[in-house]
Amino acid sequence: MAAEKTFYLETFGCQMNAHDSEKVIGTLIEQGYRQVESEIEAGLILYNTCSIRDKAEQKVFHRLNDYKRLFKEGKRFAVLGCVAQQEGEKIFDRAPYVSLVSGSASYRKLPEMLARLESGEERITGLDDRQTEETFETEFTARQSPYRAYITIVEGCDKFCSYCVVPYTRGKERSRSSSSVLAEARRIVDQGYTEIQLLGQNVNSYRDPEGKCSFAELLATVGQVEGIRRVRFTTSHPRDFTRDIVEAIDQTPTLCDHVHLPVQSGSARILKAMAREYTPEWYLERIAWLKAARRPISLSTDIIVGFPGETAEDFIATMNLLAEVEYDGVFAFKYSPRPNTPALTMIETVPDEDKTQRLHVLLDRQREIQKINYSRQIGGVLEVMVEGLNPARGQIVGRSSQNKPVNFTWPHAIAPAPGSYLRVKITEAFPNSLAGEAV
């Protein structure tokens, strides 16, 4: 009798990586593998990696080092994702016990690579170049969330921001056909999901290979699939953010009233150095469209502090933009040099202590803005989708259409199921969440 094939997979990084892992897991299961809960139990150990920031990259190699002793017990190791594509076969030199290295653009070849692994090959690579036109589509997605399903509609990136490694690790921008996206949305509904999140490195850069619809039209069409109650999308790029996206949100009630639109800096000089190809004025025009929408749209963003050459005046420009937009959420990071990126050669670096100080100032100010924004919800009633239970506080955990976390009390002994929708009266506001009671 053949030995059972088992695997353990750990994911590092963003929602794109998490959804890639769902598809990888589904592929492994379809190939006869069984998922287990730890490296110790697994015959095949996979790490799906992120290289957006240095810490995420180093964490992977630390994890490999922690478990390399298992190689002597016959375990096999695989490194997938962005670090795999970035480092390529150098991973075999750094960690000789790794048997499989595959970038995300090569995941469609996983069944073939797994067969080679099972036949005893020691070093297998799947490293497509930037020019691949293929996307990773599979009906064997093993969805990990009980309440939200993801669909990747665009893979890769053609923007080449000077600080970002993604165009080199995920390949060129390539979109799925609208027909395949809608078919997957209908399958998701059949599986019992009512919330879908469309994903892409630049999700609004979507270009339908069939020529049937724009991104805004695809949004509206997915939102009209029978059984769908919420549609989210992330991440948008300001260069491709068009007015018809706002119109689609206004006209389609199932499209959530939240937009994540990364600005990265409020300084025109720094935006030019970042190769973002827009100005603060261009960005703020799109913010004005969103603020003029018929229903309030929650806004969040990404900001990098301490980019090479950023002066105190440049940072003040970012702080001024922060105050003008009044975001509901900001993901802010210190600039981290990444391999192969143009910013790596920029010599006007900002001292780390200045980066740290600026980050603290920005986050403190944003916390004040969020506290004011969230307090405006007190006394109102929101529809909240249940995500789980917080036993320590005896509260149900959920999220509003505006993507705000809501913790609330529930008067019954049996907790509502994840994915169910309840009306909640908001009684308290905090900088990062709301609290209330089910009504």
Domain end marker among 256, 282, 311: 256
29-68: pLDDT as tens digits: 999 999 999 999 999 999 999 887 777 778 888 899 989 8
Whether residues 11 and 95 share a domain: the answer is yes
Whether residues 52 and 68 share a domain: the answer is yes
Burial 75-92 (b: 16+ CB within 10 A, else e): bbbbbbbbbbbbbeeebb
CATH (domain of 248): 3.30.750.210
For tokens 């002597």, what's the residue? 72
Where does the pLDDT of residue 1 fall: very low under 50, low under 70, confident under 90, or very high at 90 and above? very low
Q: Which of 56, 126, 49 is nearest to 83 (CA)?
A: 49
Two structure tokens written together for 279:
């100005």
Whether residues 16 and 120 share a domain: the answer is yes
Q: What does the pLDDT read at residue 2?
A: 54
Output the CA torsion 174→179→181→182 (10° steps): 160
Whether residues 365 and 267 share a domain: the answer is yes
Q: What does the pLDDT read at residue 234?
A: 96
Whether residues 305 and 267 share a domain: the answer is yes
Q: What does the pLDDT read at residue 60?
A: 87
Q: What does the pLDDT read at residue 203?
A: 98
Whether residues 158 and 197 share a domain: the answer is yes
Q: What does the pLDDT read at residue 130?
A: 66
206-265: pLDDT as tens digits: 999 999 999 999 999 999 999 999 999 999 999 999 999 999 999 999 999 999 999 999
Whether residues 153 and 122 share a domain: the answer is no
Which of the pair, 3 or 315, is modelled with greater confidence?
315
User: Does some domain include residue 234?
Assistant: yes
275: containing domain: 260-376
Q: Which of 324, 332, 336, 326 is nearest to 362 (CA)?
A: 332
User: Does some domain include residue 138?
Assistant: no
Mean pLDDT within 80-91: 90
- One DSSP character per residue, 286-351 reads HHHHHHTSSS--EEEEEEEES-TT--HHHHHHHHHHHHHH--SEEEEEE----TT-GGGG---PPP
User: Does some domain include residue 33?
Assistant: yes
Domain end marker among 222, 239, 256: 256
Largest CA distance in the chain: 70
Q: What does the pLDDT read at residue 129?
A: 67
CATH (domain of 419): 2.40.50.140
User: Does some domain include residue 334?
Assistant: yes
Q: How far is CA 272 from CA 300, 334, 335, in A?
A: 22, 18, 16
113-164: pLDDT as tens digits: 999 999 999 999 998 766 777 787 878 888 999 999 999 999 999 999 999 9
Where does the pLDDT of residue 287 fall: very low under 50, low under 70, confident under 90, or very high at 90 and above? very high
Q: What does the pLDDT read at residue 3?
A: 73
Instruction: Supply the Cα-derived Rg of the chain in whole angstroms.
Output: 23
For the ranges 54-58, 95-99, 103-107, 269-273, the maximum mean pLDDT occurs at: 269-273
User: Does some domain include residue 139?
Assistant: no
Q: Which amino acid is at 16?
A: M
CATH (domain of 74): 3.40.50.12160
Q: Tell me how far apart the alpha carbons of residues 369 and 244 are, in angstroms, rounded to a whole number.
A: 28
Q: Tell me how far apart the alpha carbons of residues 364 and 367 are, in angstroms, rounded to a whole number.
A: 5
Whether residues 184 and 251 share a domain: the answer is yes
Question: Beta partners for 400?
Answer: 384
Asked if 385 and 398 count as a contact pair (C-beta separation under 8 A), the reply is yes
For tokens 């999308």, what's the residue? 233
User: Does some domain include residue 135?
Assistant: no
User: Does some domain include residue 300?
Assistant: yes
Query: Could you tell me how far CA 58 lies from the centroid of its own chain?
Result: 19
Instruction: Report the relative pairing of strands 5-11 and 44-49 from DSSP bridges.
Output: parallel
CATH (domain of 361): 3.30.750.200
Whether residues 297 and 370 share a domain: the answer is yes
6-37: pLDDT as tens digits: 999 999 988 888 999 999 999 999 999 999 99
Two structure tokens written together for 286:
């799109």
Instruction: Report the relative pairing of strands 76-81 and 44-49 from DSSP bridges.
Output: parallel
Whether residues 115 and 157 share a domain: the answer is no
Output the CA torsion 100→104→333→257 (10° steps): -150
* Residue 347 burial by Cβ neighbours in a 10 Å radius (0-12, 13-18, 19+): exposed
Number of domains in the chain: 4
Mean pLDDT within 296-306: 98
Asked if 394 and 409 count as a contact pair (C-beta separation under 8 A), the reply is yes
Whether residues 243 and 158 share a domain: the answer is yes
163-177: pLDDT as tens digits: 999 998 888 999 999
Where does the pLDDT of residue 390 fall: very low under 50, low under 70, confident under 90, or very high at 90 and above? confident
306-349: pLDDT as tens digits: 999 999 999 999 999 999 999 999 999 999 999 889 999 998 89
Q: What does the pLDDT read at residue 366?
A: 98
* Side-by-side strand order, sheet with 230-234: 174-175, 149-155, 195-200, 230-234
Percent of the chain with pLDDT over 70: 99
Q: Which of 29, 49, 32, 14 is nearest to 142 (CA)?
A: 29
pTM: 0.91
User: Does some domain include residue 134?
Assistant: no
Whether residues 59 and 80 share a domain: the answer is yes
Q: Tell me how far apart the alpha carbons of residues 178 and 210 are, in angstroms, rounded to a whole number.
A: 7
Q: Give yes or no for a cis peptide into 235 (omega within 30° of 0).
A: yes
Q: Tell me how far apart the alpha carbons of residues 75 and 45 are, in angstroms, rounded to a whole number.
A: 7
Domain end marker among 361, 376, 391: 376
